[in-house]
Every structure is written in structure tokens, then in C-alpha cells.
Amino acid sequence: MEKVKVKLLTGRTIDQGTSKEHGKLSSEYQESVAICEIDPSDLKELALKQNSNIKISTKCGSVVVKAIESKRAPHPKVIYMPYGLWANLLIDSQTHGTGMPSFKGIPAYMEPAPDSNVLSLPELLKQVFKKG
Amino acid sequence: MSVIENVTCPVCGTLCDDLAVTVEDGFITDVKNACAIGEAKFMNFSNPNHRNLKPLIRKEGELVETSLEEAVRKSAEILVASSYPILYGWSCTGCESIRVGIELAEEVGGVIDNTSTVCHGPSILAIQDVGIPTCTLGQIRHRADLIVYWASDPYSAHPRHLERYTSFSGGRFQKSEWEHYVARLRGILGRKRISRTSERMLTKDVSMPAISGEKLPPYFETKKRKLIVVDVRKTRSAEHADFFMQVEPNKDFELLQAMRLLVKDGELEVEEVAGIPVDLMEDVVDTMIGCDFGVIFFGVGLTMSAGKHQNINSAIALTQDLNFRTKFSIMPMRGHFNVAGANIVSTWQTGYPFAVDFSQGFPRYNPGETSVVDILRRDQADAGLIIASDPVSNFPKKAAENLVKNPLIAIDPVISPTTLMADVVFPASFVGIETEGTAYRMDRVPLPMKKLVEPPQNCQSDKVILTRILEQVRLIKKENELG
């Protein structure tokens, strides 16, 4: 399947805000953070359904999350991930002398990942940091 | 049962101080006036499944329970043995703890940085460049007749901001726009019904009037208190707005500079800038010039995208330009409840608001060099103390990897990826729920945080934990000096 070039935005959502108060190991947190909001036209182009697994890649790495049809459309070729470990694995730590990495407007690719799983927080921590 | 009134909410920089919390037998059973996030915090903070309830220490790769004394001793040993430790977090704790943290950073010759480094750090750089015409939120509630949220989604990050300080708040000289908004919603619902019916009967789409587009809506000119949202997507806040401008990602700087030109009666020789038609931009700028008192609230959409502090420079310069034509103010939408306090305490103690390096025995400040993400990217730190924050979740991958591979101390009431990766974990109490303290609102107004219930048995306040580590560090250093 061909990769689609997009711009990745990361940010807050009200669900991310409330679910983190239930605990970052809770299922509510994973369901609200390990997601990617995608424009309906892009979902159609990739023949993806709601909650399908999708792989997002940047030059820093890749992660598999659930694809969610965006309610904030239209924003074709712009995808949105809530703040959290899943999104931040895609972020470059370069700050260009400001102290601030670029968390928004990042060149990225997305592709369907029907054979990959969305890792839970403990699984992801173990895979990335080899600790815990 | 007792109801504690006027409780300050320990969630976001809006710092709502009108909550009413019901306490029964030492447990919080109800909270009134809080937003969804505030309510979730008050009703779930004591859930033992996500609390750190005992001090933990890593032995043979596993976190095991330990005594507070051993956790303090181990932490002090880590900090004394390191040559360039980072002390990071500070925005979800009280000013009293931050003061002790700065003393500790000086004692161990480390770098103390707060979460503004990955939040509004670029805003601070811009303010240091060009100053900031700002005011308190009370002034805005009473007087502002034009509210602009730029790259900020208060509905998601500061849910009661609109209700308490801007469009939906009633001030002495400005009325709440709530009724107008409800009427508009009713209108939209009615039009949706008509649209659906007509689609079925006539196969014809009768769309509702867009709040975004190439022209301002017809009622815009006569409306008293106006709300404009500028963002890269139609956020939930944009749905509340009288008008929404959708700017292309990473193009805010161009749009702000173009608007500055129009404020100065210049002419643009292009059709559009950053996806916004020039004609529309002229109408928006006319609205800004025509208001009595306007305010721009800007979010991390400006600080985190291309341009970073230059975007904020430009937004502040636009506000300064507008002040030659009318009265205008600008304010960053600060995220965590005491991130402004972290900057303020750091400034009055060291002279600098964040990224303060004590490695040479005196405070040094050079974001890009002494900021935590850069130190971690260059892999220069050799230990970390994290308090009231979760950088393992929130830092870019490379920075988080380099943080985790060094000895790591975490002070946090809750279990987080950072505490799961730490080598020493202190169970802290919640400031504003289990411990009193002081926090600064986004407009730099200090507010008291109340103690409502007792913390669990082994949970100490951040200030107590830090003070004990500081004392132990001084003891070990003295022992080392005596040989």
C-alpha cells in the first residue's frame, strides 16, 4: 500500500485531558490518546474505516495507532494526534536554538497497518526504553 | 459533610477559584462549577490504581517498596555523584516547592528547567525581545469587546476560559454572549432540520451559513462582543466563534505580518496570504481597529510551529501596532496550573524564567543551550530529578531516551511513564487538594491553593520531599569534604 504524505499536528483534546485523570495506564487514556484524527477524504483515499490501525511515520520513527475520522474537517493531508507517548515518538528533539521542539506541522507519512497492533503504554515503554 | 467554597482548581492556567467541593468523612464526594477536566481530577485523584502510595527504588531492574529515608538518601547520592543533573517539571506544584527546588539546583550545580520550555518558552523569548502589552483577565471580562483566540483551543485545554473571562462572561461594561450563542445554535439546528427535509424531498442541499468563509457574517458588524478564532483546523472553540479563519499550517507568521501591514494602511499585492483572502483579512483588520478594547489570546499553536518565538514577536508587534489605532492587549494561554508561577519564582530567585544552569556556580540562561530538551538531545546530562511532570511521555523520543538511561528520580502523586522508568519514586500529595500552596494564574495573579483532605499515609508534600533531599545533599557534601 502506498504511503500518503501529510502534515502532523499534535495537541490537546478534551478527552485526553479528562482521561489522563483516570490514570495513564487506564483504557480510557489509551483510547483517547493512541489515535490519529484524519480528514474523511484521506480515509477514503486509503480505504480505511473508523478505528482501523494506521502507521504514522516521520524521520524520527513510526507508531501504530487507531485512525479516527476527524470531526474538525476539512483539513485534507493534515492529521492530528493528541499529546502523549505515541505522538511524541514521532517528534524530532532538534529545537533550532529555541529550546522548543516542533510539535506541530511535521512532515509525516501515513499508511494502513492491518497486520500491526496498537501497543499499550507498558508495551511501548518496554519496546522503546528497554526498561520497566 | 462539609462544602468548601471558593476552591482554586489545580488543573490549568485559568485557575478557576469558584469551585465548591463536598467533603464527607475525609473523602471528596462532589465538586461543583468545575470543567470536565477539573471534575475528572477531583473525582479520580484518590484512585489507588493510579497513585504512587509508597516510596519505590529500583533494585535488579524492578521497582520495589522502600522507606522514605532510603529514597531520600539514594536520591541525594545520585545528585551529589552527578556532574550535570537536570531538575525538571515544576508547573504542577506550588511556588513554595519551586523555591526549594531552585536551592537544590544551586546546591548540586545542575540545570533547573520548567515545562514552559516545551510550552510557552518561545513566548518568553519573544517577550524578552519586544515586551508585551497585556492586562489581567478581570479587565478583559469587564471591558473587552473583541476576543481573538489565535492557535489556541480553550474548549479543549482551558474549558472555562470563555465562560469566566471572555465571550460568555458578563462584565461591568460587557454583556455575556451566551444567549446569542444559544440562539445561533437553535438557528443552526433548525436549518439542519430544514436541510435534511429538503434533501429528502427536493434532493437539494440547503446548507447552514458557514461561520468561516471569504466574508464576515452579516450580523458581525452590529454584534457587540465578538469572538474570532484563528487556527489550522476548525477546533471545538472555532464552533463557538462568530468567525473562524483557517490558516495554513506553519504560515501564522506570514498572516500576522500581512495583518500588521494592513493595520498600518499598507497594501498587499497578492490575492491571499496563508490561505486567507486579502479582502477578508482587510475586513478582520478593520474589525480589530474598530473595537474599543480587543485582546489576542495565543496558544502553543504559535510557539510549537515553524517560526516559534518569531511568531510571538509578530503577534505582539501586531498588538503594539493596533494600540496606535485603539486599545489592544495580548496574553499567552498558559497550560499547567502553576507554569506561570514556575517562571515567576525562577525569575525572582535567579533572574531568569526557565532553563537556568547552575553548573558554573552562578545562574546562566541560554535557551537552546541550557534548555532541557537540548541538553538531553546532546546527551550531556548524567542524572535527572523530575517533579510534577511526565517528560517520558511529553518529550521527543531522543530526549526521553537519554533521560531514561541516566539515574532518574521522580516525585509525583500519580503513576506515569516517567515514574515507571524512574530509579527512585516519591509518592507526593496533590497541591490544591491534599496540600496548600500558591499558584499564579495565566495573567500573573497569585491565588491560594487550599488543602481539602488529608493525603494518604506515606504521601508527603513536594516541599517536604525536596527539603529532605536538600538536607541530605548538604550532609553528604559535608561528609565528602571531611573525607
Q: How far apart are CA B396 and CA B373, in angstroms?
A: 8
**pLDDT (tens digit per residue) in B210-238:** 466 778 888 788 888 999 999 999 999 99
The C-alpha cell that represents A29 in the structure block: 487514556
Among the listed residues A30, A11, A9, the one whose alpha carbon sits nearest the alpha carbon of residue A19: A30
DSSP B353: S
> Using omega within 30 degrees of 0 as the cis cutoff, is the peptide bond preceding A74 cis?
yes
Nearest residue of B to residue A38, measured between CA atoms: B233
CA B359 to chain centre: 28
DSSP B215-269: S--GGGTT-SSEEEEEESS--HHHHHSSEEEEPPTT-HHHHHHHHHHHHTT----
Query: Which of residues 80 through 99 in chain A touch B, CB cutoff 8 A?
Result: 80, 83-85, 88-99
Cβ-Cβ contacts under 8 Å for B278 (sequence gap 6 or more) = B258, B268, B270, B271, B272
pLDDT at B214: 76
Rounded to the nearest 10 degrees, how much is the dihedral formed by the CA atoms of B427, B429, B431, B436?
A: -140
Q: Where are the domains of chain A?
A: 4-129
Give the strand order in the sheet containing B27-32: B2-7, B19-24, B27-32
Query: Which of residues 101 through 120 in chain A touch B, CB cutoff 8 A?
Result: 101-105
DSSP B369: T
The C-alpha cell that represents B468 in the structure block: 529532605
Tell me which residue in B36, B250, B421 faces A18 most closely, judged by beta carbons: B36
pLDDT at B207: 45
Query: Which of residues 14 through 53 in chain A touch B, CB cutoff 8 A?
Result: 14, 17-19, 21-26
Beta bridge partners of B336: B12
Q: How far apart are CA B424 and CA A43, in angstroms?
A: 44
pLDDT at B123: 97
Ranges of residues in chain B whose predicted pLDDT is under 70? 199, 201-212
Residue B394 to residue A88, Cβ atoms within 8 A: yes
**pLDDT (tens digit per residue) in B114-142:** 999 999 999 999 999 999 999 999 999 99
Kindly state the percentage of chain A with pLDDT values over 70. 98
DSSP B158-213: STTHHHHHSTTS--SSS---HHHHHHHHHHHHHHHHHHHHHHHHHS---PPPPSSS
pLDDT at B172: 87
Which chain A residues are closer than 8 Å to B37 by Cβ?
A: 14, 17-18, 21
Q: How far apart are CA B240 and CA B51, in angstroms?
A: 36
Residue A105 to residue B306, Cβ atoms within 8 A: yes
Q: Which class is domain A4-129?
A: mainly beta
Q: 0.90 exceeded by the pTM?
A: yes
- CATH topology (fold) of B123-332: Dimethylsulfoxide Reductase; domain 2 (3.40.228)
Amino acid (1-letter code) at residue B435 = T
Task: Compute the count of residue pairs across chains A and B with CB atoms less than 8 Å apart.
Answer: 184
The C-alpha cell that represents A116 in the structure block: 500491526
Which chain B residues are closer than 8 Å to A88 by Cβ?
A: 393-397, 400
Q: What are phi and psi of A68, to 5 degrees?
A: -120, 135
DSSP A81-117: EESSHHHHTT-----TTSS----EEEEEEEEE-TTSP
Q: Does B364 touch chain A (CB under 8 A)?
A: no
Cβ-Cβ contacts under 8 Å for B240 (sequence gap 6 or more) = B155, B162, B167, B181, B227, B229
Q: What are phi and psi of A27, to 5 degrees?
A: -65, -30
The C-alpha cell that represents B235 in the structure block: 477546533
Q: Does A58 touch chain B (CB under 8 A)?
A: no
The three-class DSSP label of residue A57 is strand
pLDDT band of A54, cuts 50, 70, 90: very high
Given a cut of 50, whether residue A23 has pLDDT beyond it is: yes
**Same CATH fold assignment for domains B49-119+337-482 and B123-332:** no
Q: How far apart are CA B407 and CA B417, in angstroms?
A: 15
Tell me which residue in A93, A95, A121 faces B417 most closely, judged by beta carbons: A121
Residue B397 to residue A105, Cβ atoms within 8 A: no
Q: What are phi and psi of B462, to 5 degrees?
A: -55, -40
Predicted-assembly ipTM surpassing the 0.85 threshold: yes
Nearest residue of A to residue B303, measured between CA atoms: A100
**pLDDT (tens digit per residue) in B454-468:** 999 999 999 999 999
The C-alpha cell that represents B273 in the structure block: 496570504
Tell me which residue in A11, A73, A84 faces B393 most closely, judged by beta carbons: A84
Q: What are phi and psi of B127, to 5 degrees?
A: -65, -40
Tell me which residue in A18, A24, A99 faces B374 most closely, judged by beta carbons: A99
Say which CATH architecture domain B49-119+337-482 belongs to. 3-Layer(aba) Sandwich (3.40)
Tell me which residue in A12, A99, A129 faces B156 most closely, judged by beta carbons: A12
H/E run at residue B41: helix B36-44
H/E run at residue B348: helix B339-350
Q: How far apart are CA B137 and CA B124, in angstroms?
A: 19
**pLDDT (tens digit per residue) in B392-439:** 999 999 999 999 999 999 999 999 999 999 999 999 999 999 999 999
Q: Which long-range contacts does B362-371 make (Cβ < 8 Å, 24+ apart)? A: B363/B106, B367/A97, B367/A98, B367/A99, B367/B117, B367/B121, B367/B125, B368/A95, B368/A96, B368/A97, B368/A98, B368/A99, B370/B111, B370/B113, B371/A95, B371/A98, B371/A99, B371/A100, B371/B113, B371/B117, B371/B121
Given a cut of 90, whether residue A44 has pLDDT beyond it is: yes
Q: Look up cell 526498561; give the residue.
A: A131
Closest CA of chain B from A111, distance in Å: 21
Q: What are phi and psi of B161, to 5 degrees?
A: -60, -45
Nearest residue of A to residue B116, measured between CA atoms: A100
Burial of A1 (0-12, 13-18, 19+ CB in 10 A): exposed
pLDDT at B182: 82
